[in-house]
Amino acid sequence: MNVPVIAIDGPSASGKGTVAERVATRLGFHFLDSGALYRLTALAAMKHGVALDDEAGVAQLAAALPATFRDGAVWLAEEDVTDAIRAEAVGEGASKVAALPAVRAALLDRQRAYRQLPGLVADGRDMGTVVFTDAVAKVFLTASAEARAERRYKQLIEKGNSANLPALVADMQARDARDTARAVAPLKPAADALLLDTTHMDIESAVQAVLTHYALCKARSKQGN
């Protein structure tokens, strides 16, 4: 089944989730937030008292994760955890469990199962390099750690949460270091990915850049056939 995939990767708070979701809406494609699966795995581990460095234990949870995405919400079994998985502690936990090879292996088939007609826009950290290596279009979104921390700071303040900007910058840098240095599926752009720096770019401009790139890639693919 020839189902087109647009793979959008990048570091935390680069805007890839928002961009990917809007691109999927414009094209009428399905949308995969792969980061949510890792956040759900970390949350499940916390709820079950499984240490985040217990590779076998966390992988077992990941393999049987009762996760669903419906009505614009994220569910763990019958609990709406849409807001819970966005907590900073869960994000930190997700970065830790994502470094475990057995956890990544447990979630690989689950991610690929989202590839359904008419197409898929997948966002994450290894969509173009590991999960969908044959994606028709690959994009690597990035931005400076300071810009990404400022975006996260505004999100937290708008939701009524307390936030410390210098601490968020340090957190972004620590996550980047962990994600790029991990042995399995490190965060890096695919060789054929469009590099898109969103430091000084608004969401709509980024969406348009991805749509234009997809149109060009699709045209080249047809010419190649």
180 found inside a domain:
yes
223 found inside a domain:
no
27 found inside a domain:
yes
pLDDT tens digit string along 116-129? 999 999 999 999 99
Instruction: For residue 75, give the DSSP letter.
Output: E
The enclosing domain of 161 has a CATH number of 3.40.50.300
> Taking the model in full, what pTM does it have?
0.87
Position 225 scores a pLDDT of 61
Residue 18 region by backbone torsions, left for phi larger than 0, else alpha for psi between -120 and 50, else beta: alpha
21 found inside a domain:
yes
Position 1 scores a pLDDT of 55
Domain count along the chain: 1
- Please, what sign has the CA dihedral across residues 55, 65, 96, 144? positive
166 found inside a domain:
yes
Say which range, 19-23, 69-73, 173-177, has the weakest mean pLDDT. Answer: 69-73
Mean pLDDT of the chain: 92
**Greater pLDDT, 68 or 35:** 35
157 found inside a domain:
yes
Q: Collect all residues with Cβ–Cβ distance below 8 Å to 179 and sequence separation of at least 6.
A: 11, 12, 95, 98, 99, 125, 186, 187
222 found inside a domain:
no
Confidence of residue 106 (pLDDT cuts 50, 70, 90): very high
Position 156 scores a pLDDT of 87
**Domain range enclosing 181:** 5-216
**Greater pLDDT, 126 or 184:** 126
Confidence of residue 161 (pLDDT cuts 50, 70, 90): confident
Q: 146 and 14 in contact (C-beta within 8 Å)?
A: no
Q: 86 and 17 in contact (C-beta within 8 Å)?
A: no
Proportion of the chain above pLDDT 90, given as a percent:
73
Instruction: For residue 51, give the DSSP letter.
Output: -
Determine the average pLDDT of the residues in 20-29.
95
224 found inside a domain:
no
Determine the average pLDDT of the residues in 37-45.
96
